[in-house]
Amino acid sequence: MLFLAACFWGVCIPIMKALGTEQAILAPEAGSLGGSAASLCARFGIAALFVLAWSRRSPMGIKPAEWGHGAILGGFTAVSMFLQVDGLNYTNASTAGFLIALYSVLIPTFTWLAGKRRMTPVLFLCCMLVLAGMATLTGFDPRSFRLGRGEWENLGAACLFAGQILWVDRVPYGRVDSGRLTFVLCASVSLACLAALAFLPGGVPALIHAHASTRALGLTLFLALLGTAAPFLLMNGFQSKVGPVAAGFIYCVEPLTAALGAFFLPELLVRSPDLYANEAVTVKLALGGLMILAANLLLLRDRSGTTLPA
């Protein structure tokens, strides 16, 4: 189920880029930050309504623990996505993709420092394989790497993504309904983005302008259902059965499926192929994907350091 969630997130990345291209035409006055806030507000708001309808529960029945954990997870999601979007304006995509993927290595590092899991040779090798795979997949060049605004923001986003995955593990299993938790998460992100719009270029009207075409509405609806509601329901419902370390490695499938989706989706979704062209199959994609897959398969054999006694 977590693999499926990562596939949903990955395939939606080129769809997000196509939506951003459309919204830059519809609401140029909003800029990247205002457009992103408007997009996230609508996307997570629709997702919250879908989750509420799917779970067939009233918001009045949400427990205090579900409000608390959902709001915290919503805060992680909202801030990390803002940092990621803004950071992309100040660094290249390959560097950003590599830095974001560091959450898969940060999670076992944090759990090791907290005394929750041993750093076994197998786990260390898995971390190195993921780093090598992501560097190959994204075309990361260490010779051109520097720590500027974009790099620091993407590092911050990676830490927040790691914190979000670790916090899901703190949600008491069996005592919190994943549907209600996901509703609170999505509603929190939507409300936070709506509040942010009041201080960003374009203001609250950007929410309407950025969705003033059938294409923008269709892409937003798709992202709300398959890029937000479905994967977050899977994450909140099944991650506790796997653990945060294994989940972090599984989620690394996301950029691989994003690359696969970029082979054919872009030109299908934009007004003109010149705005966002399809990408081509490369050897780097195959090598990077194989290393990430190898790290996941190798982690399945690492049973010695899963937990430490209290």
Can you state the percent helix, strand and coil of the chain, rounding each to 5? 75, 0, 25
Q: Can you give the residue range of the structural domain that contains 105?
A: 2-299
306 occurs within a structural domain: no
Read off the pLDDT band of 274 (50, 70, 90): confident
244 occurs within a structural domain: yes
Q: How many other C-beta atoms lie within 10 A of the C-beta of residue 222? A: 17
305 occurs within a structural domain: no
99 occurs within a structural domain: yes
229 occurs within a structural domain: yes
Predicted TM-score (pTM) of this structure: 0.82
308 occurs within a structural domain: no
184 occurs within a structural domain: yes
- Total domain count for the chain? 1
304 occurs within a structural domain: no
Residue 278 gets which letter from DSSP?
P
* Residue 275 phi, psi (nearest 5): -75, -35
- On the question of pLDDT at 310 being above 50, the answer is no
Mean pLDDT of the chain: 82
- On the question of pLDDT at 34 being above 50, the answer is yes
- What pLDDT does 36 receive? 84
